[in-house]
Structure 1
Amino acid sequence: MQKNDPYAALRFREFNIFLIMRFAMVFAWSMQFVVIEWEVYSITKDPLSLGIIGLMEVIPAVSLALFAGHIVDQNEKKGLLIKCLLAFSVISFGLFLLTWPEVVSNWSSDLILYSIYFLVFLGGFIRAFLGPTIFSLFALIVPKKIYPNAATWSSSVWQMGVVLGPALAGFAINWIGVHWSLCLVFAFSLIALISLSFISKKPILNPKIGENVFKSLKEGIKFVYSTKVILGAITLDMIAVLFGGAVALLPVFAQDILHVGSEGFGILRASPAVGALLIMFTSAYFPLNKNAGMKLLAAIFGFGICIIVFGLSSWFWISVVALFLSGVTDGISMIIRQTILQLKTPDHMRGRVASVNSMFVGSSNELGAFESGLTAKLMGTVRAVVFGGVMTLITVLMTGTFFPKLRKLDLRKDIEEHEKK
């Protein structure tokens, strides 16, 4: 195998299946979140309601995150992931029914709204297990020496799903309506489930099966805290996503500020996807491992600038370009952060480390949606987005100052060590 083979990970059959499964899952989840955002805002016309959606999901996700990591480390990964995907499919079907006029024709708007919130809340429990399980399964599918290349492809596919899902959601709402858009979400959840069936069961590598749960959780938290590179990377990304969550307010921009309707909403949502696709293809050929720390800081700083420009723009196409560049910078930071986590985390602790990561980063999207909705309610939509971008810039400067190991991080030595194993 060539040292710089950009397709090294893709030469493993199960990894390709894993990518299909991960894309379908992330695509479905992201598309569903956006369709529900549109429906809820159409019902309430209140930006705070968009924040409540995120809050409903993040409360159970954060509350269970550490315990979920312990359970993932103690159990076989494929079986656990099957249960997660089955539960998500049930929730997707429930949301499909809630937007079917023949089913809810006699329901009040409040009852429909609260039912949507309830299903999103249940989804938060699944979210707590989903991220750590996928992260742990990934490490059992490919050899350690190609983790960096596999992390690039996996992160890129995740990024594609997380932006293409919302992009298609915007267009689908315009083309086929909310109800049938959610039917499409349900279909992709089934694709993920079927794909997973072609991956074999993997061994449990944890030497401490049956370990006391609180001792296990303490060990996971201690590892993350003592590994400053991991702590700095996930802290940086959490704050950036938390305050840079302008996309949560896109329904407001599309309907009330830029006045471009559902079709323009789809274009706005698609813009980060194009940026993410660009990064997916280029990063496989031009790895981001050299001076990775500085590249991570620069990418998130650029992300903050893009958010500020988007917030201040009253021209549709300037907003589109700003979101495109936010997709580029966000894609770079995601690939670097995932590579750091895969290289620095021991096999027997992947579930717990991924759970801590999900508390910091995975749930910050929903917390960011709540923060954006709340600040938009208090200070206005445009000021809320600009405030978020400014806070992102401040966070990058502070992280670069207080985490010098992250600033000086170069992943080439870690990669060479894994290639020797």
Structure 2
Amino acid sequence: MDTTSTPHVSLKSVLGVRDFRFFLAGRFLGTLGSQIQSVAVGWQIYDLTHSAMALGFVGLAQFLPMVLLILPAGDVADRIDRRIIVAVSYGLQALAIALLIALTHMESTNVWPFYLVLVLTGISRAFAGPALRSFVPLLVSKEQMPRAIALSSSSFQVAVIGGPALGGIIYIWGPTAAYGACLLFFVAVAVAFVALRTQHQQQPVDPTMGAFARAMAGIAYIRTQPIVLGAISLDLFAVLLGGATALLPIYAKDILHVGPEGLGLMRSAPAIGAVIVNFLLIWRPLHRHTGLAMFACVALFGVATIVFGLSETFMLSLAALFVMGGADMVSVFVRSTLIPLATPPEKLGRVSAVDLIFISASNEFGEFESGMVAGWIGAVPAVVVGGLGTIGVVALWMWLFPDLRKIDRLTDVKPG
């Protein structure tokens, strides 16, 4: 890691961009609300069912609409004002929260209505995701982009830290209180993006391409870029195997016996590690041997996952989750910087959509996979086996994608 900051680009100059500040505020509040919702839904569903598989279906309900709609959503993000897309999407998420409040007041013991509402959440996130992830290049210059992306990641991670802890505390007063906070945040996000002044840059549309071909253009481009394909697929398989997030309610209630407050702290611990590492990346950016650093940190993520899986002590579990978040942040930073630099602007929305499919597969579908495996073999073996699988993926990907391993400076990456 080079100790020299990015030349001629200061944090003050990036934060001086008015619309970028609005973007940061909107992303922060949206993430904060999503994290509070995740804690509340996870605890409420497990409290109703005491079933690991039921927690797995929470992830599946959000993953399926994401994977079905996100490619068309990427095409939409390249052709329609991204401010409106994000505002409407968060309006839908506010509606979903209102339905969760209604279900809670009905005192329903049937979990299927909750899953149906989570499908609506997945639909809204499918359209918001590509628009959000392709926003930063519209707001700042290419030279400002690495710092802007790092700041955006910091905003995201701070919300991921505060959201679960805040959600766990608010849940003391019941799920309605937690969902009410989410509703306020989601409405605020919609207002923030409507207030942006950045004009949508209409991209030329090839009249010979149909909607399906346009939607698939992101996949076609990534297939020709082994560095991009390697980076996003590494994250997919590493987190898919090594993710233990879906099983945290089981650890909080049945293994560590720390209640919803402990669950909130465990959900926050990875983000605390991530935000600390991200601030280090802002002040002392990765400048050399970037590819090797990313592979090493993903392997460390796998080791920390194994430690967490075997731990029966709350503080050791928090420490392992902290390391997992910090290690994962390096991979997130490299991938988030590499994709805009390696992608032509007219395809960025669609390429971001493909990236989000991989992220959603590793997160939401990973929660489903973790819940199913834990239901079959138990929570602890599921987490340990997943961590071992992550280490195996690192070794295999270093062999399959040598160009990714050999990346030295991110600033040398250009569209193919």
Equivalence for 1:362? 360
Larger deviation, residues 37-46 vs 59-68: 59-68
User: For the Cα contact (< 8 Å) 1:66–1:355, is it kept in 2?
Assistant: yes
Equivalence for 2:35? 30
User: For the Cα contact (< 8 Å) 1:77–1:201, is it kept in 2?
Assistant: no
Shift of 1:146: 1.2
Equivalence for 2:46? 41
Q: Distance in 2 between matches of 1:135 and 1:316?
A: 35
Q: Distance in 1 between matches of 2:392 and 2:223?
A: 22
Q: Distance in 2 between matches of 1:15 and 1:309?
A: 39
Shift of 1:76: 1.5
- For residue 68 of structure 1, give the secondary structure of its aligned residue in structure 2: helix
User: For the Cα contact (< 8 Å) 1:168–1:270, is it kept in 2?
Assistant: no
2:74 to 53, 69, 73: 69
Q: Distance in 2 between matches of 1:357 and 1:270?
A: 24
Shift of 1:276: 2.1
Equivalence for 2:84? 79
Shift of 1:209: 6.1
Q: Distance in 2 between matches of 1:352 and 1:160?
A: 27
Structure 1 residue runs of 4 or more that deviate by more than 3 Å after TM superposition: none
Shift of 1:171: 2.6
The 3 A distance-change label for structure 1 pair 218 and 187 is closer
- For residue 145 of structure 1, give the secondary structure of its aligned residue in structure 2: coil
User: For the Cα contact (< 8 Å) 1:88–1:189, is it kept in 2?
Assistant: yes
The 3 A distance-change label for structure 1 pair 310 and 224 is same
Q: Which runs of 5+ in 1 are unaligned?
A: none
User: For the Cα contact (< 8 Å) 2:9–2:143, is it kept in 1?
Assistant: no
Please, what TM-score do these two structures have when normalized by structure 1?
0.93
Q: How does 1:3-402 map to 2 (within 5 A)?
A: 3-100=8-105, 104-105=106-107, 107=108, 109-110=109-110, 113-174=111-172, 176-208=173-205, 211-402=209-400
User: For the Cα contact (< 8 Å) 1:6–1:285, is it kept in 2?
Assistant: no
Q: Distance in 2 between matches of 1:192 and 1:63?
A: 25
Q: Distance in 1 between matches of 2:385 and 2:91?
A: 39
Amino acid in the other structure paired with 1:377: G
RMSD (CA atoms): 1.8
Q: Deviations over 1:35-58 (max 9, x none)?
A: 101100000000100000100110
User: For the Cα contact (< 8 Å) 2:62–2:119, is it kept in 1?
Assistant: yes
Amino acid in the other structure paired with 2:157: Q
Q: Deviations over 1:290-343 (max 9, x none)?
A: 222111111111111111000001111110110111111122221111001121
Shift of 1:4: 4.9
Q: Deviations over 1:150-180 (max 9, x none)?
A: 1111122223333432232223223x22220
User: For the Cα contact (< 8 Å) 2:92–2:120, is it kept in 1?
Assistant: no
Q: Distance in 2 between matches of 1:255 and 1:166?
A: 16
Q: Distance in 2 between matches of 1:267 and 1:260?
A: 10
Amino acid in the other structure paired with 2:180: C
Q: Distance in 1 between matches of 2:351 and 2:390?
A: 24
User: For the Cα contact (< 8 Å) 2:237–2:393, is it kept in 1?
Assistant: yes
Q: Deviations over 1:60-94 (max 9, x none)?
A: 11011111111221212111211111111111121
Shift of 1:400: 1.0
- For residue 99 of structure 1, give the secondary structure of its aligned residue in structure 2: helix
Amino acid in the other structure paired with 1:315: T
The 3 A distance-change label for structure 1 pair 309 and 76 is same
Shift of 1:270: 2.3
Shift of 1:390: 0.8
Q: Distance in 2 between matches of 1:257 and 1:164?
A: 24
Q: Which runs of 5+ in 2 are unaligned?
A: 1-5
